[in-house]
Each structure stands twice: as structure tokens, then as C-alpha cells.
């Protein structure tokens, strides 16, 4: 067994890895009883001569190879979402390039499920931004995705959160946009814990009141809504909304704290999935969904529940920095050769946080090669003076 010294409570203590890696096995999404998207990260190019905080440099080969890995496991790709650092390093210009490249890769496969984020992030919120400006911004991004043959995930808008005077402005924007879409979309309600600029979305600070506005929009446009993804980190709020959705409209869980039980569901329904954590725990998610498809609920929970403490740690407050943990796990698992992120975001979590992530990943059995992971963890520790 491999032992490594890890920082804990200001001390350096030995930790012995015990996890047996979950088997990496190709699967077909059509065999799963739930639709499951992984919001995928981007791989930075650490050799680029750029200003990391200002100009993204993307390793396109590794970024696209990671999407093929998700598809091989039977998971869909939610492209150019907040997990890809949308709004935290990845601007619309690079997101547009990412969307076009990913859709081209998907077109070469028969089994590739993909949907792409369209929002208004090329607008800078301010007093000169009107509701009509926001509608036009949504239309511009939607046109780009649809022209490339992509399906839309309608992202929340920082500009709308800043400009809206109340729920009627949200209804106006979403009604206008949804009416003109070619195919049903997934609406994404991203909570303020993920992005503080989205506080008060749908016109209310109270999530249950905001839910009423969102449901009104969905009910009025049900034929144009495939589903709603809510990321509020509250299973109670998700279930409450799930039970009020019009028939045929899916709930896609975005709850990275409670996904196992929400996907399993209850006698009144279940959630499908669109999760950032599925990027980090893809083999476990794939195996668990396969087990659920075989009606082996015990195996489903045995595989997925140990990943929940890891996910809660990765998504702990400030939640918006969760991307650092997702990319760090990709580095530990040999899916990229460095721990570098666009926007310099690798610096947003402490060494102690990363050490605990390593331990929890071992417990969750999502370290693909424990010896490689330990070697890479030691390299990161050494950079921080821990030997």
C-alpha cells in the first residue's frame, strides 16, 4: 500500500491509500435509466506565452479528448458551462470556439450526447444594458449554437440579474427567447452560491418565491422546455419544484451535495442529472447509472454515496471555486499533465483543501491509478514545502 504525508490541522501526518479504483468500462447512454450530463472542464495550455489572468490559453487536444472519455463512459457533455470556467476565465469568444470544436467531435460519433451553454456573458452588466439588449445578446449566442447544430442549455444571465426590476422582466426575456428556439432547451437556474452576481434571480431573493416565477415561465412554454436544471444545493427545494413541473418537463439535478438520492428518486419521481461533479467522478457515475439500469439500487448507492463527501468538499463555500477541485482531480488521474487552470484559478484553494480532496478521492475509489495520484500529490506538496 502507498503511504503519503499530508497536511492536517497544521501538522504533517502519514496517510495510507486504501481505495480500489472503480473499473473504467465503456458504456452506452441508452442503457441508463436517467439522462446524465457531465459539465466538462477545459484543459489549460501551461506552455503558452500569455497573461494567465487575462488571456486564456487552451490545450484543445486534451480538452476534446476528455469529452470523448465522458462519451465513452455513456455520459453526456454539458459544454461551455460554469464548470468550463464560463465567466471565470472563459469568455464568450473562447466558449464559442469550444462549442464549435466539441460539436464537431460529437458529430463524428453515433453515441455522443451534448448540449451547449448559451447566455449573455459577452455583455458587461451596467446601467446602459436594457432588457432589449439582453434579449439580443441571448439571441446572438443561441444563433451560434444552433448554426453549429447544437442543443441549447439556456444559462442564467448576470446582465439580467442586474437590469431586471422584478419578475416581469424575467418573464418577458424568457418568453421571448423560448418562443423562437428550434428545439426544446434545458433552462439553468444557477444559485448565488455558485455565482454571487445571480442573487435574486427570477425577481426574488426567496428561492421559493423565485421558483413561482420560473414555473410560470416553464408552464407557458412547456413545449419548448426539455427540462430545468437547478443548482441551489437544497434537495428539498429541488423536490418541491420537481413535483410541480408540467408533464414531460424533466428536472435535471444540479445539486452536487445530494445527487445520489435525487437521481434514485422516490415514488413520486426522480431527477435526471447535469452535474459538475460528474466530470470528476465519471467512472463512478457511469457504473452507478449502469447498476440503476439493472435495478440494482444497492449497488447504485454503494458506488455513488462514497463520492458525496468528496463532492461536498469540492463544492464547499466559496462554491464558485469548485472548478479548482475538478481540475486537480483530473491532474491526479493523469487526464492532464499539469495542475494549471485558465485565469490562474488553481490558486483558489489551499494546500490543506487539496490534501483532503486527495484523501476523500481515495475513499470514493475515484483515483484511477493510486500510485500515479500519490506521485503527483507529492509533487504539489513539494512545491508548497512539504516533503
- Interval 222-261: pLDDT, tens: 999 999 999 999 999 999 999 999 999 999 999 999 999 9
Residue tagged 439522462 (cell numbers): 35
Residue 225 lies in a domain: yes
**Tell me, what's the pLDDT at 111?**
92
pTM here is 0.97
**Tell me, what's the pLDDT at 5?**
95
CB burial string 260-279: b at 16+ within 10 A, e below = bbbbbbeeeebbbbbbbbbb
**Tell me, what's the pLDDT at 147?**
97
**Consecutive sets of 10 residues in the chain, 387 residues long: mean pLDDT of each?**
91 95 94 97 96 94 98 98 96 97 97 97 94 98 97 98 98 98 97 97 98 98 98 97 98 98 97 98 98 97 98 98 98 98 97 98 98 98 92
CATH of the domain at 245: 3.20.20.70
**Tell me, what's the pLDDT at 278?**
98
In which domain, by residue range, is 206 found?
29-307
Q: Give the contacts of 332 (CB within 8 A, at least 6 positions apart).
A: 358, 361, 367, 372, 373, 376, 377
Residue 336 lies in a domain: no
Residue 380 lies in a domain: no
Residue 73 lies in a domain: yes
**Tell me, what's the pLDDT at 1?**
79
Structurally, the chain folds into a number of domains equal to 1
Residue 301 lies in a domain: yes
Residue 149 lies in a domain: yes
Tell me the Ramachandran region of residue 314: left when phi exceeds 0, alpha when psi lies from -120 to 50, beta otherwise: alpha
Dump the DSSP string for 251-308.
Answer: EEE--TTTHHHHHH-BTTB--EEEESHHHHTHHHHHHHHHHHHTT-HHHHHHHHTTHH
Residue 106 lies in a domain: yes
User: In which element (H, E) is residue 71 found?
Assistant: helix 60-72
**Tell me, what's the pLDDT at 245?**
98
**Tell me, what's the pLDDT at 387?**
84
Residue 181 lies in a domain: yes
Amino acid at each position: 500500500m502507498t503511504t503519503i504525508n499530508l497536511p492536517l490541522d497544521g501538522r504533517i501526518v502519514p496517510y495510507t491509500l486504501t481505495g480500489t479504483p472503480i473499473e473504467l468500462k465503456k458504456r452506452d447512454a441508452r442503457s441508463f435509466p436517467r439522462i446524465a450530463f457531465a459539465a466538462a472542464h477545459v484543459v489549460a495550455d501551461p506552455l503558452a506565452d500569455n497573461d494567465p489572468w487575462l488571456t486564456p490559453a487552451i490545450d484543445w487536444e486534451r480538452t476534446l479528448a476528455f469529452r470523448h472519455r465522458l462519451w465513452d463512459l455513456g455520459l453526456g457533455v454539458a459544454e461551455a458551462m460554469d464548470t468550463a470556467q464560463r465567466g471565470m476565465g472563459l469568455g464568450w469568444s473562447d466558449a464559442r470556439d469550444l462549442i464549435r470544436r466539441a460539436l464537431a467531435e460529437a458529430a463524428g460519433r453515433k453515441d455522443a450526447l451534448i448540449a451547449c451553454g448559451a447566455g449573455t456573458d459577452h455583455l458587461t452588466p451596467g446601467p446602459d444594458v436594457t432588457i432589449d439588449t439582453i434579449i439580443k445578446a441571448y439571441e446572438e449566442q443561441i444563433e451560434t449554437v444552433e448554426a453549429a447544430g447544437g442543443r441549447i442549455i439556456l444559462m442564467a444571465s448576470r446582465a439580467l440579474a442586474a437590469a431586471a426590476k422584478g419578475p416581469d422582466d424575467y418573464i418577458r426575456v424568457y418568453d421571448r427567447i423560448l418562443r423562437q428556439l428550434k428545439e426544446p432547451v434545458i433552462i439553468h437556474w444557477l444559485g448565488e452560491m455558485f455565482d454571487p452576481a445571480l442573487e435574486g434571480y427570477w425577481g426574488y431573493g426567496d428561492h421559493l418565491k423565485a421558483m413561482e416565477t420560473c414555473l410560470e415561465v416553464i408552464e407557458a412554454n412547456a413545449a419548448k422546455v426539455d427540462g430545468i436544471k437547478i443548482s441551489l444545493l437544497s434537495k428539498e427545494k429541488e423536490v418541491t419544484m420537481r413535483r410541480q413541473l408540467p408533464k414531460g418537463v424533466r428536472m435535471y439535478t444540479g445539486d452536487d451535495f445530494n445527487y445520489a438520492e435525487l437521481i434514485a428518486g422516490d415514488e413520486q419521481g426522480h431527477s435526471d442529472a447535469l452535474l459538475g461533479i460528474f466530470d470528476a467522478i465519471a467512472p463512478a457515475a457511469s457504473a452507478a447509472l449502469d447498476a440503476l439500469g439493472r435495478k440494482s439500487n444497492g449497488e447504485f448507492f454503494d458506488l455513488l454515496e462514497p463520492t458525496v463527501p468528496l463532492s461536498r468538499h469540492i463544492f464547499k463555500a466559496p462554491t464558485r471555486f469548485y472548478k479548482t477541485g475538478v481540475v486537480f482531480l483530473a491532474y491526479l488521474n493523469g487526464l492532464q499533465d499539469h495542475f494549471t487552470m485558465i485565469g490562474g484559478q488553481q490558486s483558489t484553494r489551499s494546500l490543506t483543501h487539496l490534501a483532503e480532496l486527495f484523501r476523500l478521492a481515495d475513499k470514493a475509489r475515484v483515483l484511477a491509478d493510486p500510485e500515479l495520484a500519490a506521485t503527483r500529490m507529492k509533487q504539489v506538496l513539494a512545491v508548497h514545502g512539504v516533503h
